[in-house]
Amino acid sequence: MITAAASGIGNAIAGCCLEEGSRVHICDIDGEALEGAIKDKQGLSGTRCDVGNATDVARLFEDVEVSLGGLDLLVNNAGIGGGHSPIEEIDVDEWRRTMDVNLNGMFYCIQKATPYMKAQKSGTIINISTVSVRTGMTNRLPYITSKQGVMGLTHNVARELGPWNIRCNAILPGLIDNTRGRAILARKAEADGRTLEETEEEYLRYISMRCWIKPKEVGDLVVFLSSEKAKHISGQFIAVDGHMEWEA
């Protein structure tokens, strides 16, 4: 089961899992995009869900039970940007909403997935964080704080569920080459009064491999981490970023 998988990284992860022969259930808050994703990929089922709402997540897992009959892999991908404000101007409601989606939503899903995985004494949980937890970003305190919380969540879940042969890891994507990633760069270029090319050059200057990351690269890592080849990898924070050293 993959959250926020109607588009972007989540959709790429779903595609990679389907290619491996898995049955996949996804959720997304965008009902129209969800319907399109299900039509586009054979073998995909889905539920409209706001993961920041515990009642929605409970209903999601009722659908997962019907669609899959169990659960081997949970990918917590859902996340929002959390706004762009200096600390003193952060809207409290926006702060709460960012925590609800980016951190609480992962907890709600893990809590519901755990009984399935404990019963079968196996399972994989993968939380999507961001490499920005290592670099930090100005005017993005809600987002960075929520994603740092994901790191603590991952570490402790790995420890607590390890005795049941349940593994939990976090993936830290870098500069993602998709519509959202390109839009983020375009907004920054506009805000700074610079060309898109200048802004891109500045970003890539602080990535050792000078690269964008394709969404499928994250999907490929999910497939590996959920496979028998990674059966003893747990509690790890793994970046797919070309080694991002710093970001503006």
Residue 177: what are its φ and ψ, rounded to 5°? Answer: -85, 80
171: which residues sit within 8 A by CB, 6+ positions away?
A: 126, 127, 128, 129, 218, 221, 222, 225, 238, 239, 240
Asked whether the beta carbons of 106 and 1 are under 8 A apart, the reply is no
Tell me the C-alpha to C-alpha distance, in Å, between residue 114 and each of 106, 124, 162, 176.
12, 10, 11, 30
Catalytic, out of 116, 143, 203, 206 = 143
Active site (annotated) includes residue 203: no
Residue numbers annotated as active site? 143
